[in-house]
Amino acid sequence: MYVGAVLGTGVIALPALAARVAGPASLLAWLALVVLSAPLAAVFAALGARHPDAGGVSTYARLAFGERAAAVVGWCFFFAVPPGMSAAALFGGAYVSAALGGGTTTTVITAVTMTVVVTVANAVGVQLTGRLQFAFAGLLVGLLLVSIALSLPHARLHNLTPFAPHGWTAIGPAAALLVWSFAGWEAITHLAAEFRRPHRDLPRATAVAVVTVGALYVSLAFAIISVLGASAGRSEAPLGELMARGLGGNARVLAAIVATLVTLATMNVYCAAAAKLGSALSRDGAFPRGLSRGSMAGEVPRRSLVVVAALYFLALFIVIGTGVGTRPLVLLATGQFTTVYAVGVAAAIRLLPRGGKAHVAALVSLVGVVALLVMAGIYLVWPLLVTGAALLYLRVGRRRHEVAPPPVPALEAPESSSP
């Protein structure tokens, strides 16, 4: 689930978007985010191992800073998922329509179908979600490795020059786009309570995911730029073109299969995480009371799941109706996820044992997250609006929600088990 959450739809679209912004120098943005991911992932693994709860980062914020911070970070994550899922589904749908034809109609039908599949899977329960995720991630990693291996003989070093055609400062905006590709380290924390042994399993899963995702992302970005050259930045389906170079002939069908797998894997985890979070926020008084069922381990948050699906469809049809494209959706979602990271890392600095490896990782991560906040620029306006809405709800809805939140379970694992 971790690999599927992070190895998301970035592989099918963002190498081209980043190359368009920074050229081959976008490879440095990929490398920087891989390096930043290691301590960031370690921080969320340590928090999830010690405090396994459906609230995830919202719970850590409440333990560290109180109710208001918990509501803000919870709302930022919850309302980042619908635009994020919309962009993901449209990325995947574009690959399917490129292979089968039908244009926008095929793209929309594919996006809607994917949403129905992940919603039904999550309505059944987290065990089915996990089995599907294992299949999605396994097939995806295998197909990507084959694509990279078969295309690299076509790589040309002259495609890496000029290395920074838009200047070195373009690496920053490229990195802001690529945050989308690395969002996901926090998503699994909402499912931490579902693990049999969170204090042992989360650090292990994190280590495997960091190595796997980092190696695949950098290899794929290098292959796309070195094989496709200047056309990489103009391509709407860079992975499809890469596979065509490696396999010969028209590889759009294979690319559509990869795109479908990666989109389903990403949507599957975020749907599960957002549904669990919605029920936890309701339990804690930060959401309407009717969504609280399903916040405990083993329960299925079906009411919250319905809200997540409804918001996704709303975001999807707004995008289709206005024709704004996916780039604003990506930046809106990443602005909110970066805000979640900032609060989560700050909470880790207060909650994790001082001097331990995870605490040092939190201090390192804080520097990188602050840099990402600066690069998000105007797109931080949306998380600020969401913050205002969350605080307003707390003020207005507090009188209606009389149930006190239950204590959050804590697993005091030995420091050696923390990554």
Inform me whether the pLDDT recorded for 205 exceeds 80.
Answer: yes
Inform me whether the pLDDT recorded for 218 exceeds 50.
Answer: yes
Query: How many residues in the chain?
Result: 419
Q: Distance from CA of residue 188 to its chain's centroid?
A: 10
377-380's contacts with Cβ under 8 Å and 24+ in sequence apart are 377/176, 379/331, 379/332, 379/334, 379/335, 380/335, 380/339
Inform me whether the pLDDT recorded for 400 exceeds 80.
Answer: no
Residue 224 contacts residue 232 (beta carbons within 8 Å): yes
Q: For 94-139, how does the pLDDT look when each residue is reduced to its tens digit (9 = 90+)?
A: 888 888 888 888 988 998 898 888 888 878 766 666 677 777 777 7
Give the separation between CA 362 and CA 371, rounded to whole angstroms.
Answer: 14
Give the separation between CA 71 and CA 284, rounded to whole angstroms.
Answer: 9
- Residue 406: count of CB within 10 angstroms of its CB: 11
Mean pLDDT of 360-388: 83
Which architecture characterizes domain 2-399+410-417 according to CATH?
A: Up-down Bundle (1.20)
Exposed, middle or buried, 153 (CB in 10 Å: 0-12/13-18/19+)?
exposed
Averaged pLDDT score across all residues of the chain: 80
pLDDT given for residue 34 in this prediction: 84
Residue 264 contacts residue 117 (beta carbons within 8 Å): yes
The SS3 assignment for 207 reads helix
Residue 95 contacts residue 240 (beta carbons within 8 Å): yes
Give the separation between CA 133 and CA 261, rounded to whole angstroms.
Answer: 9
Quick one: angle between helices 103-124 and 67-100, nearest 10? Answer: 130
Q: For 27-40, how does the pLDDT look when each residue is reduced to its tens digit (9 = 90+)?
A: 998 888 888 788 88
- DSSP assignment letter at 152: G
Query: What are the φ and ψ backbone dihedral angles of 250, each rounded to 5 degrees?
Result: -95, 110
The SS3 assignment for 195 reads coil
Mean pLDDT of 198-203: 83
Give the separation between CA 238 and CA 151, rounded to whole angstroms.
Answer: 12
Residue 351 contacts residue 64 (beta carbons within 8 Å): yes
pLDDT given for residue 416 in this prediction: 40
pLDDT given for residue 288 in this prediction: 84
HSE (side-chain half, CA atoms, 13 Å) at 270: 34
Q: For 287-311, how does the pLDDT look when each residue is reduced to its tens digit (9 = 90+)?
A: 888 887 766 766 778 888 888 889 8
pTM of the entire structure?
0.72
Residue 69 contacts residue 61 (beta carbons within 8 Å): yes
Reported as a pLDDT band with limits 50, 70 and 90, residue 246 is confident
Q: Which two tokens stand for residue 219?
A: 């290899």
Reported as a pLDDT band with limits 50, 70 and 90, residue 65 is very high
Domain ranges within the chain, ordered by starting residue: 2-399+410-417
Q: Which two tokens stand for residue 7?
A: 């190895």
Inform me whether the pLDDT recorded for 365 exceeds 90.
Answer: no
Inform me whether the pLDDT recorded for 415 exceeds 60.
Answer: no
- DSSP assignment letter at 24: G
Q: For residues 327 and 360, which has the higher predicted lDDT (pLDDT)?
A: 360
Give the separation between CA 344 and CA 327, rounded to whole angstroms.
Answer: 25
